[in-house]
Amino acid sequence: MSTARADGAKSRRRSGSSPMHLKPTWSEDAKNLLLGLSALVASVAIPLLGLYYTNQQKDRELGKNFIELGINILSEKPIPETKPLRGWAIDLVNQYAEVKIPEPVRQALLTDQSLFQSPVPQSETSRKRFFDQY
Q: Is 9 inside any structural domain? A: no
- Burial pattern 64-81, b for ≥16 Cβ within 10 A else e, equals eebbeebeebbeeebeee
Residues 6+ apart with CB under 8 A from 63: 96
Does 31 fall in a domain? no
Residue 29 counted as domain residue: no
- Domains of the chain: total: 1
Report yes or no on 73 lying in a domain. yes
pLDDT band at 63 (very low <50, low <70, confident <90, very high): very high
Is residue 18 situated within a structural domain? no
Q: Exposed, middle or buried by CB within 10 Å (0-12, 13-18, 19+), for 93?
A: buried
Let me know if residue 92 belongs to a domain.
yes
Give me the helix-helix angle, 26-75 and 83-96, nearest 10°. Answer: 150
115 domain residue, yes or no: yes
Model confidence band, residue 113 (pLDDT cutoffs 50, 70, 90)? confident
Residue at 5 is within a domain: no
Domain extent, residue 92, equals 59-119
Q: Is 0.95 topped by the overall pTM?
A: no
